Structure 1
């Protein structure tokens, strides 16, 4: 059963929580690790250092879009590749458990599930610009 009275608020809560998580991770890369340090870390993984700047910008833009509700379904799906890349390069080789050295991939995978759930659930209450979705004919 789907409760149409509370579901928009559930999506709002999920949307804001996911946005705040991305905001925190962008903040960490910018103000703690610094952009140059983040670029060096990306280079140590064999990735182009410029990808670090793209990642930080993508996280910031995605976080703001989720929090404000600007095309949140699309923003949620657009953020999945960032996390998939984190699993492929850092967290996947560390194993499943997030408490492993270098953090495993369990938390990141759960985060991806949250993003996909939001994309399926909908924009939620108080979205500034809902994602244009055409209704499915039945």
Structure 2
């Protein structure tokens, strides 16, 4: 089964579902938290971008992860998550790019893993175990 289509599709499903759930938790926190989108709005304004750009965080952390979880338009959803992570690194974590954490890992290992997983899903697609199916649009 190691090289079978079933195991490959199961691996794709696992990757996109775990990525989707973990990113969605960040989106839910923004939807239900006290600060809402205020923190992101301030960051966007501080770099001179229009305020409406901040609402992209809801697309990248709520809509795209839901699409990943169900396996619909997964390649596009993964690209949105990847762009969201690039914005997060650029707006919040730039100073940590060359830093190590207290435990010796890269300070941005979580963001790096999210970015890498999103790019992997964008390249691999959703696989057969998805709403869109193996030949689904952008899957």
Report the TM-score range of the alignment, normalised by the length of the smaller protein. 0.7 to 0.9
What's 1:39 paired with?
41
TM-align CA RMSD: 2.6
Q: Which stretches in structure 2 are left out of the alignment for 5+ residues?
A: none
- Per-residue CA deviations over 1:13-35 (Å, capped at 9, x if unaligned) read 11111111221111122222313
The CA distance in 2 between the partners of 1:10 and 1:48, in whole Å, is 39
Q: Deviations over 1:46-74 (max 9, x none)?
A: 54332221222332110111011111122
* Distance change in 2, residues 1:59/1:99 (3 Å): same
Judging changes above 3 Å, is the alpha-carbon distance between structure 1 residues 58 and 69 closer, same or farther for their aligned structure 2 residues?
same
Match of 2:130 in 1: 127
Counterparts of 2:99 and 2:29, CA distance in 1: 22
Of the three residues 54, 59, 62, the one matched with 1:60 is 62
TM-score (norm 2): 0.77
How many residues end up aligned between the 2 structures? Answer: 131
Unaligned runs of 5+ in 1: 134-138
The alignment's TM-score, normalised by the length of structure 1, stands at: 0.77
Kept after mapping to 2: 8 A contact 1:29/1:38: no
Show CA shifts across 1:77-129 (max 9, x none): 222111111112211222345747xx943321221111111222231343112
